[in-house]
Amino acid sequence: MSVSAGNYTLHLPPIDPTDPESKLVVYALLFRSAPVYLAGVFTATIVEWVDLNMRFMQPFINMFGKAGPAADTVLLAYITTSPFQVPITAIEKGHYKVAAFSILNSLSPLFPIFIGGLLQLEDQGGKVFFGFSLSAYIGIMVFLSAWSVAMPFAYPIQKRLLPRQCYSMADLMAMCHKSYFLQRDYLDIADRRRTPSKDIMEARILIEGDRFLFGHYTDDEDRRHIGFDIHSTVNYDTGIIEERGLVEAVTPSGELDKLATQTVRTMTSLFRASGTGQSSGQGFSAWLRRILRVQRKGPAETELRFVTPRGSATGSHLEGQHEARQRPTVAFAP
Considering the domain boundaries, does residue 18 fall inside one? no
Please report the pLDDT score of residue 24 as a whole number. 73
Same domain, 31 and 133: yes
Same domain, 85 and 145: yes
Considering the domain boundaries, does residue 113 fall inside one? yes
What's the domain range around 269?
255-303
Report, as an integer, the average pLDDT of 98-121: 91
Same domain, 48 and 131: yes
Residue after which a domain boundary falls, among 228, 249, 270:
249
Same domain, 140 and 222: no
Considering the domain boundaries, does residue 192 fall inside one? yes
List strand residue ranges (DSSP E) for the chain, in order. 2-5, 8-11, 68-69, 119-124, 127-132, 210-218, 224-235, 240-243, 247-249, 308-310, 317-319
Same domain, 142 and 210: no
Report, as an integer, the average pLDDT of 55-84: 89
Considering the domain boundaries, does residue 147 fall inside one? yes
pLDDT tier, 317 (very low <50, low <70, confident <90, very high otherwise): very low
Please report the pLDDT score of residue 212 as a whole number. 92
Considering the domain boundaries, does residue 327 fall inside one? no
| Overall number of domains in the chain | 3
pLDDT tier, 245 (very low <50, low <70, confident <90, very high otherwise): confident
Residue after which a domain boundary falls, among 111, 139, 154:
154
Could you write out the DSSP letters of every residue in 10-54?
EEPPPSSTT-TT--HHHHHIIIIIHHHHHHHHHIIIIIHHHHHHH
Q: Answer for the pair 267, 259: CB distance below 8 angstroms, yes or no.
A: no
With a cut of 50, say whether residue 322 has pLDDT above it: no
Residue after which a domain boundary falls, among 154, 186, 215:
154
User: Which residue has better confidence, 275 or 27?
Assistant: 27
Same domain, 36 and 101: yes
Q: Answer for the pair 98, 83: CB distance below 8 angstroms, yes or no.
A: no
Q: Give per-residue pLDDT as tens, 123-172.
A: 777 777 888 899 999 999 999 999 999 988 887 666 666 777 666 777 77
Q: Give per-residue pLDDT as tens, 266-313.
A: 777 766 655 554 444 555 566 666 666 655 554 444 444 444 444 444
Strand, helix or coil for residue 51: helix
With a cut of 90, say whether residue 39 has pLDDT above it: yes
Residue from 208, 248, 201, 205 nearest 227 by CA: 248
Same domain, 222 and 140: no
The segment with the largest mean pLDDT, out of 66-70, 188-192, 195-199, 289-293, is 66-70
Considering the domain boundaries, does residue 100 fall inside one? yes
Same domain, 47 and 134: yes
Which residue type occupies 282? Q
Please report the pLDDT score of residue 26 as a whole number. 77
Same domain, 46 and 126: yes
Please report the pLDDT score of residue 15 as a whole number. 55
Positive or negative, the CA dihedral 95, 157, 151, 39 is negative
Please report the pLDDT score of residue 204 as a whole number. 87
DSSP state of 256: H
Considering the domain boundaries, does residue 125 fall inside one? yes
Lowest mean pLDDT among 116-130, 198-212, 232-246, 290-304: 290-304
Same domain, 147 and 40: yes
Same domain, 77 and 106: yes
pLDDT tier, 112 (very low <50, low <70, confident <90, very high otherwise): very high
Helices then strands, each counted (H, E), the chain: 12, 11
pLDDT tier, 72 (very low <50, low <70, confident <90, very high otherwise): very high
Please report the pLDDT score of residue 239 as a whole number. 76
| Arithmetic mean of pLDDT over the chain | 76
Considering the domain boundaries, does residue 186 fall inside one? yes
In whole angstroms, what is the distance from residue 23 CA to residue 127 CA?
9
Same domain, 148 and 81: yes
